[in-house]
Each structure stands twice: as C-alpha cells, then as structure tokens.
Chains A and B, each alone.
Chain A
Amino acid sequence: MKRVHFGHSPIPYVFVLPQMLIIGVFFLWPSFEAFRLSFFLEDPWGLSNQFVWFDNYWDVISDENYRAVFFSTVIFSAVVALLSIILALLFAVKVDGLLRLSSTYRPFLTWSYAIAPAVAGLIARFLYSPQIGPLYDFLNQFSTDTWFEPRLDAMDAWLVLASGSIWKQISVNFVFLVAGLQAIPRNVLEASLLDNPNGFRRFWSITLPLLAPTLFFLLVINISYAVFETFGVIDTVYPFGPPSGAQTLVYKVYVDGFKGADLGGSSAQSVILMVIVLLLTVVQFRYIEKRVHYT
C-alpha cells in the first residue's frame, strides 16, 4: 500500500473487475463444483444424482490402487525435484566460479526452459523407443534378454518419465541458483576463503546455508512441477496409457474423470489434491520463510 492515494471513487472497482470476473467464473465456480460433486454419486448416464456424504472419499482412500499411485507420486516427485535441483546446483556453482567465459555457458544452460513437458515426453519416447531408440539399445546391450522394457515394466517406465521430466526442469533451477549465488556478498566469500582453503568444505559450510532460501523455494516449485506439470510427459510417452503402476495422481484424476466417467470419485481425488497443494503452500509460507535466514 502506498502512503499517497487517490480519493474515493468507483475507479478501483472497475480496474479489478476483469480479474475478479475471470476468477469467479473459471476459478471459484469450478473449485466449488469439484467440492460439491465430491459428495455426490452420479450414475454413468448422468440421469440421477445422489448425495452420499463422504462415501467417495472413503472409496478413494480405501482403494489400494489409489494408495499405490499416491505413494509412487511422492517418490517420483521427490526424485525429480531433488535430482533436477542437484544437477542445476552443480552447473550453477561451476558457472559462478568461472572468472571468464561464464556468460558464454549461460545461454546453453538456460534455453531448455522453453521445452514444453509434452515435447520433452515425446523426445524421451523416441530415445527409449524399441524400434529406433538409441537408449533402448544401449540399456539392453548389457544383458542377453531384454531386461529394459519401458512399455511393460513400471520401474522402467518411471525411469523414462523421470529422465524426461528432469531434462526439461534443470534450466529453471539453474536460473534461480545463479541469481542466488550472485546475491551472496563477495566479501563473505573472500573472508571464508582465508579461513577455509578447502573448496568443498567452504561450499558446504558457507555457500549452501546462504543459498538455503533459494533452495527451499525451488523445492516447493519443483515438487509442484513434478506433481502437476508432468502430466504432459506421461501422456506423450504413453498416448495409450502407461503400464499399470506408472501413473501420478493428476493422471489418475484425468483418467477416472474423463475416460472412466466417475465424476464423484474423480472430484474427491481433486479435493484431496487441493488439500495437498494447500499444505505445501502453508509449509512454504509458515515454516520455511521463518526458519531460513540469511544470518
């Protein structure tokens, strides 16, 4: 808020109106609908609607398949988030340490931000394709039988999905980490150079704690990327559906709601996802913002 303001007039209402209209129609209304539908059981023809209290939630939570998908989404998100942050951190530290040429490297590590998750998925699909994929041949040359079979085996499928998702995500983290490293005061680094000649220990005890706010911020961003945006990767690597056991929560909401026409169950899953995002955000604001300091 500014100290100086314009006086009372209808003008501010006119100015926020477009955004409020769009939010009302395309955010509040559908969010409310998801909430409402999650308490109803609709027959497959959409003819009758029955209020069933928490039955849909109960069905979702007690479904073993859902719990398996939940569990694998957690693992998948953690792996994608951590690996893409660690790799980006390695490149950012190396670029930051270079005196000359650092600006030559930067664009080459930044451009891949522009890759759509769906296109990353397609490229991964070809590189691992049994028909023409070099990575498929490479991984299978170590054994006489084809032990790497991403079309059938869930574990192999996760490998394809994770590598595509990480490949696309490194550059975002790189941009934020380079900016974070540059924000560290040079005199702090110079002072630590005198105290501690060991490069790795200096990084561990000085640079990393100073980068903590950026790293935590990126952790939240990356987890939400891995949970939500990797839908594009899954759906292009597997246009006819992944092998069973290799789907994420968002993919399941889509499959159950659109292909399976189970509106109530899919809505209950949506609401559970909303709660997860809310928790993530609360953690980001409450815990992280308070605990991580530059001191």
Chain B
Amino acid sequence: MNRLHRYQLADHAILILGILFLVTPLWVVFASSTYPAEYLIRHGLQVIPGDQMVETYWSVLTEKKGFTEQITAARMLLNSMILGVGFAIGKIAISMTAAYAIVYFRFPLGTFLFWVIFSTLLLPLEVRIIPSYKVVADLGLLNSYTGLIVPLIASATGTFFFRQFFRSVPEEVLEAAKLDGAGPIKFFIDILMPLSKTMMAALFIIMFVVGWNQYLWPLLMTTNDDYVTIVYGIKQVMQNLDESRIPEYNRGFALAVLALLPPIGIVLIFQKMFIKGLLESDK
C-alpha cells in the first residue's frame, strides 16, 4: 500500500511538471504584458502580474498603432472572428451536402467525385501556395474575406467526417422517412440535419480554431491593413517593435494574449465536444 502510494506521488509530480511546461510560457507572457515597456527592458520578463493591465489592453484594443498605424487590435480580432466563423461554417456546409450526396445516392459520377474529393487530403495548401496565390490574384480576390476564406475550405476533412457519421445512421431512418413520403431535400433538412447537430457543433469547434490560427495564407493574401487577422498582425507589430528605440514589448505581449484567448476559451468551455471533433475529424 505504501509503495503504491509512492508511485502515485511520482505520477502526480510528472503530470504537474508537464502542466508547468505547457502553462508557464503563456503565464509569463500574460504577467509581463501588465508592466510598462521600460520596466520590462530593465528587469526582464515578469512572473507576478503588475498594475498596468487595463492601460495596456485598452490602448492595444483602441489605438491604431500597428504595421502602418492603420488598424486597432479590436479590428484584427474582428477579422480573425470572421475568418474563423466563415471557415468553420463554409466547411461544414459544403462538406455536409457533399457527404449527403455520396452516401445517400447512387449516381454515375459518384465514385469518381469521391476520389477527386479524397485527393485533396493528399496535398496541403502549403505545397501549392504560389500558384494558389496567382489564381486568387487573377480572380481579383486579394484583400477580401472571400479570398481569405474560400481557398482554405478546399480540403476534404469535413466531408470524410460527415461521410463516416451518415454511414452510422441506421438504414431504418431512411426507410421510415420514405414510407412517410419525404423527398431527398425534406429528408436532409428535417431529419438528417437535426440528427447531426452534435457532429456539426464538434466540427465547428475544431474548424473555428483551425481557421483562427491560419498564418501563411493570410500572410500572402493581405496587403491591405483592413484585412489583417490578429495572428498575422502580431508579427507585423513585433517586427515594428524590433526597430524602435524602446520596444513596447508589453503591447506585443498583450496582442499575443488577445490572439490566444478566444481559441483557448472555446477549447476549454466545449472540451468534450472539442475532443470528439478532434478524434473523429483527423482520420
């Protein structure tokens, strides 16, 4: 019994060390964001929060002091929100309808289209960034929400997620609906969509975080400050800081904290759904 107890103690110690490893960097960034810039330069990063929190965050959110002094953090957060929500909803919409067609209909091109969709899993956006950029530029979509969101949707993870789920829906559901005289569209809207609520929510959470965290694509797409997302914006702001005499590290840290809060909040609040979505969408 005593030995068992000691083992358990060691296990707890390892887990607590692991948590410290994950949490400490973020905590240090947060605590440091609440000090004046001069203080940080003189004394280094801080562990205990200071008293400048409200001032720093308020000025970051409301003052236009970024790349070309054209955008506030509040606007960057809004852009990120549009990207995250637009990406998640767009992905759910197109992949649900496509999966519905593939699972519930037998049509001549079905198998072929399935393989075309499947092929998108093989090649991530990163391997074709330059031609993708050219296509979007040719279509006149640079510096627009459409150009920011739609090319990111062109991958099939969501379709597979719903295909898997629709296949697990019992055959009897369709049989009963057919007996009641429901057509394909009525069946989709009145029966399948309500059944998929949990799955839609789970995928939404994952895709929101994925969309919010995009970096390379927004970097290529946006040359106009109005469309800068917060994840991309911090880099520009920090780049500016490096060149100034007294780098305002506190403002940079505040931006990093603001960029992290929404996705972390969603993951923690909807933890069960997030785990469900992650486990079933990544396969």
Contacts and interface: CB of A to CB of B under 8 A. Distances in A.
B150 A22 contact: yes
B127 interface: yes
A4 B249 contact: no
A38 to B, nearest CB: 10
Interface string A250-263: 10011001100001
Q: Which of B19, B127, B249 has the most chain A CB atoms closer than 10 A to its own CB?
A: B127
Contact of A26 (B116, B151, B247): B151
Contact of B44 (A28, A90, A134): A134
B95 interface: yes
Interface string B87-126: 0000001110110111111110110010011001111101
A31 interface: yes
Given A19-B117, A27-B120, A131-B41, A107 B268 contact: yes
Interface string B44-81: 11000000000000000000000000000000000000
Contact of A111 (B14, B134, B267): B267
A119 B256 contact: yes
Nearest to B116: A23
Interface residues of A, number: 95
Given A31-B123, A110-B267, A19 B95 contact: yes
Contact of A133 (B12, B45, B124, B175): B45
A31 B128 contact: yes
Interface in B123-159: 123-124, 126-132, 134-136, 139, 150-151, 153-155, 159
A13 interface: yes
A37 B130 CA distance: 10
Given A105-B19, A232-B215, A278-B122, A273 B127 contact: yes
A119 B279 contact: no
Contact of B104 (A2, A113, A131, A267): A2
B118 to A, nearest CB: 10
Contacts of A134: 28, 44-45
Nearest to A278: B122
A286 interface: no
A212 interface: no
A30 B161 CA distance: 25
Contacts of A20: 98, 113, 116-117
Given A90-B18, A228-B126, A281-B122, A31 B185 contact: no
A26 B132 contact: yes
A97 B212 contact: no
A234 B201 CA distance: 33
Contacts, number: 286
Contacts of B5: none
B278 A175 contact: yes
A126 B97 contact: no
A95 interface: yes
Given A12-B105, A232-B215, A277 B123 contact: yes
Contacts of A127: 25, 28, 45
Given A12-B110, A98-B8, A114-B263, A224 B134 contact: no
Given A2-B171, A15-B100, A122 B238 contact: yes
A170 B22 contact: yes
Contacts of A123: 25-26, 29, 256
A235 B215 contact: yes
15 contacts: A11-B184, A16-B113, A27-B155, A28-B116, A33-B135, A37-B131, A90-B14, A91-B14, A119-B259, A126-B29, A176-B278, A236-B238, A240-B239, A274-B123, A274-B127
4 closest A-B pairs by CB? A116-B213, A114-B263, A33-B131, A12-B101
Interface of B: 7-8, 11-12, 14-15, 18-19, 21-23, 25-26, 28-29, 40-41, 44-45, 93-95, 97-98, 100-107, 109-110, 113, 116-117, 120-124, 126-132, 134-136, 139, 150-151, 153-155, 159, 167, 171, 174-175, 178, 183-185, 187, 209, 212-216, 219-220, 231-232, 234-235, 238-239, 242, 247, 249, 252-253, 256, 259-260, 263-264, 266-268, 271, 274-275, 278-279, 282-283
